[in-house]
Amino acid sequence: MSFSLETWASPKIAQLQQMLLSSFETEESILHQACKYPLQTGGKRIRPLFLLATMEALGEELSQDAYICATALELIHTYSLVHDDLPCMDDDDFRRGKPTVHKIYGDGNAVLVGDAILTKAFEILSQCTPTHLPALLACIGKAAGTVGMIGGQALDVGLEGKITDLEQLKQLHSRKTGALICAAIDLATILCSVSEEKQATLHQFGQKIGLAFQLADDILDAEEDAKADGPPSFVKFLGINATAQQAEHLLEESLTLLNSLENPEALRRLALFTVKRDH
């Protein structure tokens, strides 16, 4: 029987959704309602799915710890979107076709919502079994922090100066977008206690597919990004065809890194989706 990514992913997304929302259901309040809003507007859940697919590729059961880490990652991704949409950052009125958090609750409250969702990620992580907890915390903190997502965003807003070459652009996106995707793979290798060699190979996979995700994103946003006053993007630096070629190349390289894994079908299909997606 042929493998369907949708059939594979949908029960996992349902379980994740329940965990994402239950963290804000301990009491009824407008703050909790506002925190649940960006968790209820859809989203591909690609980071959690990468984590779960990597565990499966390594031949491991999807444990409660796996779902806890997957939930924490999605919470961090969600907070970054809430803050990124604010008028002081990207100033977006809509995300996933729905009004952004600040459009509904106001700018200050959207800052609080982002902060609360980020903080919840670490509260939830604390429920992991203690064995791997220090390594899991270090991994997720680093990926979300100054040498990861926030560092990438700082480069994007020009804090360190203008992005003038392709290497700088790669660094920006490897941090801003790639780091959290790579963390999904790294977290799975920590949970599965794999050898250093396997960890390094899968980390390389994560770096390549994380960057490929951004190249695909730039192609999807090509019209917007190509504008002279648009954000620094691969399409702007390379043109659309070369960007697509680079994405394809990264995909091929990343797929070869999965060859020795026990059960890599879902991970392979997720990598393909990352580059070939239409949303």
Residue 56 engages ligand GRG in binding (rule: CB under 6 A):
no
Query: In sequence order, what are the residues at sequence separation of 6 or more whose Cβ sits closer than 8 angstroms to the Cβ of residue 45?
Result: 9, 13, 16, 74
- Complex with ligand GRG: residue 58 or 149, whichever CB lies closer: 149
Compose the 187-226 pattern: x for residues touching ligand GRG by CB under 6 A, - for all others: ---------------------------x--x---------
Residue 12 engages ligand GRG in binding (rule: CB under 6 A):
no
Burial 13-40 (b: 16+ CB within 10 A, else e): bebbbebbeebbeeeeeeebebbbbbbe
Could you give the CA distance from residue 64 to residue 220 in angstroms, rounded to a whole number? 35
Residue nearest to ligand GRG (CB): 43
Least distance (Å) between residue 176 CB and ligand GRG:
5
- Complex with ligand GRG: residue 56 or 84, whichever CB lies closer: 84
Binding residue (CB under 6 A) for ligand GRG from 23, 80, 174, 201: 80
Query: In sequence order, what are the residues at sequence separation of 6 or more whose Cβ sits closer than 8 angstroms to the Cβ of residue 163?
Result: 155, 169, 172, 232
| Other CB atoms within 10 A of residue 91 CB | 11
Q: Which position has the token pair 């984590």?
A: 51
Residue 60 engages ligand GRG in binding (rule: CB under 6 A):
no
- Give the residues lining the site for ligand GRG (CB under 6 A): 43-44, 46, 80-81, 83-84, 89, 96, 149-150, 153, 176-177, 214, 217
